[in-house]
């Protein structure tokens, strides 16, 4: 039978581990979104000096396991004189990895915008920065929201790899509790439930965002029909 006393005893440890997972996910999520957006925009500007390195970077990230990338950051960068604590290494590795995938999503989104949008902005005298900020990117993010959400849900699960750097997040905590208590079902069962809860919260939040978007579209077309009939 499940040992609920054990779960109760280790609950504070699990909760602090949960908080660590949330921190890593949030920080990496925000950084990767910024990185991916910048890379996505840069890769659209047709400069070879920029494009080739970005393509190489994306190629390496996509072809290699995240675990290897994590080791490379954590043990490779200090060899180059950049000293990192495990938490920083994890954030860097996850941000680079997810950022790379997001850059491709953003690039696809940018490609889907009609060139007339750029022309109208130019004709109105808007600067390139304002064009991006006020005209192009708002449309891009509206379109790429679903793939972005699924990318972030991968990120949350991937943070479990931080366990190999002894960062006390959910998976690491589970392993260490399991090895001291010899109760693997309780030790790994609680993390399963925690990941499940994170997943539920995240997917409900995503659905609310996506539905809010759909509703504005629906209301718009509803109005149109109403007004057409009135005419």
- Residues contributing to the site for other proteins (CB under 8 A): 114, 116-117, 119-127, 130, 134-135, 138-139, 142, 220-221, 223-224, 227
Smallest gap from Cβ 109 to other proteins, in A, equals 13
Smallest gap from Cβ 214 to other proteins, in A, equals 14
Comparing CB distances to other proteins, the nearer of 53 and 138 is 138
Comparing CB distances to other proteins, the nearer of 139 and 153 is 139
SS (H, E, C) the chain: CCCHHHHHHHHHHHHHHHHHHHHHHHHHHHHHHHHHHHHHHHHHCCCHHHHHHHHHHHHHHHHCCHHHHHHHHHHHHHHCCCCCCHHHHHHHHHHHHHHHHHHHHHHHHHHCCCHHHHHHHHHCCCCHHHHHHHHHHHHHHHHHHHHHHHHHHHHHHHHHHHHHHCCCCHHHHHHHHHHHHCCHHHHHHHHHHHHHHHHHHHHHHHHHHHHHHHHHHHHHHHHHHHHHHHC
Comparing CB distances to other proteins, the nearer of 76 and 138 is 138
Smallest gap from Cβ 226 to other proteins, in A, equals 10
Smallest gap from Cβ 212 to other proteins, in A, equals 14
Comparing CB distances to other proteins, the nearer of 24 and 137 is 137
Comparing CB distances to other proteins, the nearer of 5 and 227 is 227
Smallest gap from Cβ 111 to other proteins, in A, equals 17
């Amino acid at each position: 039978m499940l040992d609920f006393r054990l779960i109760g005893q280790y609950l504070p440890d699990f909760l602090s581990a949960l908080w660590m997972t949330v921190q890593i996910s949030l920080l990496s999520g925000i950084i990767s979104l910024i990185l991916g957006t910048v890379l996505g925009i840069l890769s659209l500007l047709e400069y070879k000096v920029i494009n080739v390195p970005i393509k190489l970077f994306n190629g390496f990230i996509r072809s290699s396991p995240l675990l290897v990338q994590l080791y490379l950051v954590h043990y490779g960068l200090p060899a180059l004189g950049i000293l990192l604590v495990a938490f920083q290494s994890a954030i860097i590795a996850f941000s680079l990895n997810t950022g790379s995938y997001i850059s491709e999503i953003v690039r696809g989104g940018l490609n889907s915008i009609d060139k007339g949008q750029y022309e109208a902005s130019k004709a109105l005298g808007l600067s390139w920065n304002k064009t991006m900020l006020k005209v192009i990117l708002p449309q891009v993010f509206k379109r790429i929201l679903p793939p972005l959400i699924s990318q972030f849900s991968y990120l949350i699960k991937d943070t479990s790899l931080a366990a190999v750097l002894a960062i006390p997040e959910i998976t690491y905590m589970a392993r260490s509790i399991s090895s001291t208590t010899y109760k693997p079902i309780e030790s790994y069962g609680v993390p399963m439930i925690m990941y499940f809860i994170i997943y539920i919260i995240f997917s409900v939040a995503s659905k609310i965002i996506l539905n809010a978007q759909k509703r504005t579209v629906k209301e718009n077309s509803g109005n149109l029909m109403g007004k057409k009939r009135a005419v």
